[in-house]
Amino acid sequence: MGIVVQKYGGSSVATAEHIKAVAERVEKAHEGGLDLVVVVSAMGKTTDRLLALAGEVAKDPSPREIDQLLSTGERQSVALLAMALHDRGVEATSLSGPQAGMRITGRHGSGVISEIQTERMRQLLREGHVVIVAGFQGMNALGDVITLGRGGSDTTAVALAASLHADRCEIYTDVDGIYTADPRIVPAARRIPMISPAEIAEMAWRGAKVMHPRAVELGALYSVEIHVRSSFDEGPGTVIREGKDLEHLETRETLAGIVHDLDVSRVALTGIKTGPGTLSRVFAPLAQAGISVDVIVESAPKEGAADVAFTVRRADFAEARRLTGKVASSLGGQVEGEENLGKISVVGTGMLNRPGYAARMFDALGRAGIPIRMVSTSEIQVTCVIPAERVEEAVRRLHEDFELEERDV
């Protein structure tokens, strides 16, 4: 049988008992003849606890030392899981990211994987070992630890699956798959048995928390089949792969699900003079500051002036407003902002060729009296920026309006 990469998130290894349960699952898969590479995250809230400790001992800790500190969380997890497997009579070897051959470029705290040197892992697999790899981390050209940022363990797992030509990558988490909406908000939400990489990537970017979008995009690029399953039961979960089912052709359901995000704020530059290079002047300082921009809306110029609005995470709001305030002033305009916002998105492939989704969404929100601040569309999604306090209501209304709880997904 082939290689399978499994990844267990922080909630799956949060306690000693959880780690023992993961070891039992890994042992069963190993006894079934699989060559296993297991990626684990730090236990529970370890990363948050370590960041808090850093803040207690230093006002402005260096990014390098933050990476040194945070990488210890995953190293604890891999060692403990290896011990639990040894206790069950399973040969297992734990590896940090650098020991596993993860080569990383970029800045501390937001590195990207440039290469994976797989020789050591392949040798251990040939010797019958379960290989346990610390997620979220690797080593740069200087030999320093670099972390991949939040969600980096998902990216580690998918990258390993691609490099090792694994049969599949299994992501184990505290939910039993991907749903048509957040089940905590919509109890009638349905689990989606299979979804395309494009759909889940869009859902992840729009706020779904099940998988990190970087990992999904990496899987799509290298044709890695990804299974999202629960650590706590044996359900089938959700399979992420390109669909080849020809049964329904164009009659198949287009809409995959409703996604929301509460980490949204809006910055608007009003009355700025427009011309060639204006948008570059607005967004270049944000890029240099590492601030990601999502929804962007520009009004049509009138008498040489226009308005430009965009969304950022709330943590970036103050800095984004400060930077763009300077630009707005230099262009004869003003800057304003709003923090307490959220996004609601309908996502599904083929929406571009089936008119009416946007109108139906606007109608449902209008009937509920929910104001729309901004709109973004593509061939696979329609997103509305709305007041944060109305987001959960919007999720329920749209899920019901699009009848997602009634159809076979």
Is the residue at 301 inside a domain?
no
Is the residue at 49 inside a domain?
yes
CATH number for position 11: 3.40.1160.10
Is the residue at 159 inside a domain?
yes
Expressed as residue numbers, the domain containing 62 is 3-174
pTM over 0.85: no
Is the residue at 107 inside a domain?
yes
Is the residue at 403 inside a domain?
no
Is the residue at 91 inside a domain?
yes
Region 22-27: what's the mean pLDDT? 96
Please give the C-alpha separations between residue 135 and each of 150, 264, 339, in angstroms, as whole numbers.
Answer: 11, 28, 33
- Quote the mean pLDDT of the chain: 90
Number of domains in the chain: 1
CA–CA separation, 134 vs 100, rounded Å? 8
The letter for the amino acid at 177 is G
Is the residue at 147 inside a domain?
yes
For residue 241, list its beta bridge partners: none
Region 202-214: what's the mean pLDDT? 82
- In terms of C-beta density within 10 A (0-12 exposed, 13-18 middle, 19 or more buried), how is residue 23 classed? buried
Region 218-222: what's the mean pLDDT? 89
Is the residue at 285 inside a domain?
no
pLDDT digits (tens, 9 = 90+) for 302-356: 877 889 999 999 999 999 999 999 889 998 999 999 999 999 999 987 666 666 8
Rg of the chain, C-alpha, whole Å: 23
Contact 132, 94 (CB under 8 A): yes
| pLDDT reading at 194 higher than 50 | yes
Residue 226, both tokens? 């990804």
pLDDT at 299: 84
